[in-house]
């Protein structure tokens, strides 16, 4: 069961009928509220897929340990969002205490609360 007691088949039928599932509507709302820093860009690789995003972070002008680096993160949002947290993966190899060697971002860093602002803090 997903989103408000709906089955995957019901969600697929709603999408086929042109209706957006509740999780997708919540993603759209949350993304309108997010304010990324000037060194980060949110990219939607497939305009038809509201559940997959890239975040490109350019630290070339930042005064930090990772100065000069450019990093890409992939954010995968489950259909049961916001009841299930998005997954965050660092596609660029980096040594960071909250990113494992396979690029998985520590979940408590990526999602500390309920909305996009908390996920944004996790990327900073």
CB contact set of 90 (below 8 Å; sequence gap of 6+): 71, 72, 73, 96, 99, 103, 104, 105
Any alpha helices (H) in 44-115, and if so which ranges? 107-110
Distances (CA, A) of 3 to 15, 33, 70: 13, 22, 36
The verdict on whether 106 is a catalytic residue reads yes
Q: What angle do CA 108, 111, 117 make, to 5 degrees?
A: 140
Q: Please, how many CA atoms are within 13 Å of residue 14, restricted to the half-sphere of its CB?
A: 16
Any alpha helices (H) in 60-115, and if so which ranges? 107-110
Which entry of 64, 88, 90, 106 is annotated as an active-site residue? 106
Catalytic residues: 106
């Amino acid at each position: 069961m997903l989103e408000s007691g709906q089955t995957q088949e019901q969600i697929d039928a709603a999408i086929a009928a042109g209706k957006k599932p509740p999780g997708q509507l919540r993603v759209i709302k949350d993304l309108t509220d997010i304010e990324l820093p000037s060194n980060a860009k949110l990219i939607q690789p497939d305009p038809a897929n509201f559940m997959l995003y890239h975040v490109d972070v350019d630290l070339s002008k930042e005064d930090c340990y990772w100065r000069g680096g450019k990093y890409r993160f992939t954010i995968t949002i489950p259909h049961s969002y916001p009841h299930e947290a998005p997954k965050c993966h660092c596609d660029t190899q980096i040594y960071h205490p909250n990113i494992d060697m396979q690029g998985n971002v520590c979940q408590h860093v990526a999602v500390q609360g309920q909305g996009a602002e908390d996920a944004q803090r996790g990327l900073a």
